[in-house]
Structure 1
Amino acid sequence: MPRHRTPPIRTVSTRRRAADPLEEPPSLNLETGMANDQLVGDTTSELVREASVSSMHRQQEDRVDFGEELRRLQAENSRLRAERSFSSTMLVHEAPLLPYDGKSEWEEYLTHVEVVSTLNQWDEDRKAQRVASSLRGTALSVLNSLPIRDRTQWIPLTTALSQRFGQEALAPKWHAELQSRRQRPGESLVDLSNEIEKLTRLAHPGWPDFCKNQIGVRAFLGALASHQIRGIVAAAAPVTLHDALYRAQLVEASMRGCDGTREGCYECGQKGHYQNRCPNKKKEN
């Protein structure tokens, strides 16, 4: 006999699917008896896959960020090495500072210090350190007389050196040398003029230029060894020391001859001596 089969229970969803012939009913898993288990498993796998993909993306982004940060650090290190190498080169090739022993003019050396410090971009502390390390001879004794804290300070150091070697303190000395200056045997008019100009500037610091010119002209005429050159130049009444030198050179050239080949004494015309050592002049005196 045929076995009687119980018809399946028709629910609302099955009736709806039955009414819609295009929609196929989901296949039931006979082992579990529920179709939703497969859907849940597929959804879980999809979520796990998406989480894994997002994790991989984050790891890649982290690696990209780390690579950018590494490149930035490498570029910064290269820049710092280049700056350090440039600074070392500048220090090696900085302008040197000449030593000072107290025998030359302090104002001239101070001008040299200012020029070198401007080229090397030194501040006052650096200038004081370099000047203190450049002192020699009697100037070094001035450094030794200062307190330890003032030896590398710009204002105390330069003040002490100015008081010792500045021209204002030595003005009487230069004035005495200017009054007693005479033309040496064989000394040219140019050398004599330069020496007179220097002594005038040292003996009268801060004086107006026209006063220095008058004093320089008077000292130059008094220092000339030739009385003839002195009289002719004084009669021309030169205003500046350079004017007096120019006129003295013209007179000297005319006394030697047009070609400048005459040699010997201007007083007696004989060779072998100059006018300041002329024996005939001494006999007349």
Structure 2
Amino acid sequence: MSHGDLYCHNDSKYHKPATYDGSTHWQDYLVHFELLAEINHWDDHQKALELATSLRGAAQGVLSDLHPDMRRNYRSLVNALASRFEPENQSELYRTQIKSRLRKRGEPLTELAQNIKRLVRLTYPTAPLQVRELARYCFIDSLNDSELECAVFQAKS
């Protein structure tokens, strides 16, 4: 196999990553990207190239801030994007959003639950799964309906 064949995208098994423009959560995109990298059997060099070429808008702007060698280094690129789009000091903001999150009128419970689970994961990204189960209690508190809160709590106990 020649070097050119290694990166051929004409293979019917090639899965192209979605683009990333910084408007959605970086960790969500990174999970998607790394799963595709595994499916496509990319090494770190190929992952860096694929990630760099999938960036758009504000995310693409991160590339120009990096030294050219770092643009081709997967770890450096991931760290630069994480630093820009998921800064560590955001956990307090997410914690505040969790505390103030109430169910909107007519909002489906599944949508509310998913939103709270995401906020908990963003607030406590390194916490064990058991700790992140507190999302359940945050969800119950956010229902903004004492009868519904009681029913959900009893159903899950």
Matching of residue 91 in structure 1 with residue 28 in structure 2: no
Q: Is 1:203–2:132 an aligned residue pair? A: no
Q: 1:152 to 1:182 in 2, by over 3 A?
A: same
CA distance in 2, matches of 1:139, 1:189: 32
1:225 paired residue among 134, 137, 144: 144
Q: Does the CA contact (< 8 Å) of 1:105 and 1:167 recur in 2?
A: no
Hey, what's the Cα distance between the residues in 2 that align with 1:97 and 1:211?
A: 31
Q: Does 1:135 pair with 2:55?
A: yes
Q: Partner of 1:63 in structure 2? A: none
Deviations 1:26-67 (A, max 9, x none): xxxxxxxxxxxxxxxxxxxxxxxxxxxxxxxxxxxxxxxxxx
2:110 match: 190
Structure 1 contact 168–205 (Cα < 8 Å) conserved: no
C-alpha separation in 2, matches of 1:155 and 1:221: 39
Q: CA deviation at 1:184?
A: 0.8
Secondary structure, counterpart of 1:91 in structure 2: coil
Distance 1:224 1:163, change over 3 A: same
In 2, the alpha carbon distance for the partners of 1:106 and 1:129 equals 17
Q: 1:121 to 1:216 in 2, by over 3 A?
A: closer
- TM (norm. structure 2) is 0.81
1:180 aligns with 2:93: no
Aligned to 1:14: none
Cα shift at 1:128: 0.7
State the partner residue of 2:45: 125
Aligned-pair identity (%): 29
Which of 108, 114, 125 aligns to 2:34? It is 114
Deviation at residue 99 of structure 1 after TM alignment: 0.6
Deviations 1:234-269 (A, max 9, x none): 5x3x7xxxx27xxxxxxxxxxxxxxxxxxxxxxxxx
Offset, 1:229: 1.7
Residue correspondences, number: 152
Deviations 1:128-187 (A, max 9, x none): 111111111221121121122222221211111122223644322221211111111111
Larger radius of gyration: 1
* DSSP-derived class of the 2:55 partner: coil
The answer on whether the counterparts of 1:174 and 1:199 sit within 8 Å (CA) in structure 2 is: yes
**Quick one: which amino acid aligns to residue 98 of structure 2?**
L
Q: 1:175 to 1:187 in 2, by over 3 A?
A: same
Residues 117 and 221 (structure 1), Cα distance of their counterparts in 2 relative to 1, 3 Å cut: closer
Determine the C-alpha separation between the residues in 2 that align with 1:180 and 1:103: 22
Q: Does 2:91 align with 1:171? A: yes
Aligned to 1:216: 135
Q: Give 3-state SS (helix, strand or coil) of 2:9's partner.
A: helix
Give the C-alpha shift of residue 205 in structure 1.
1.2
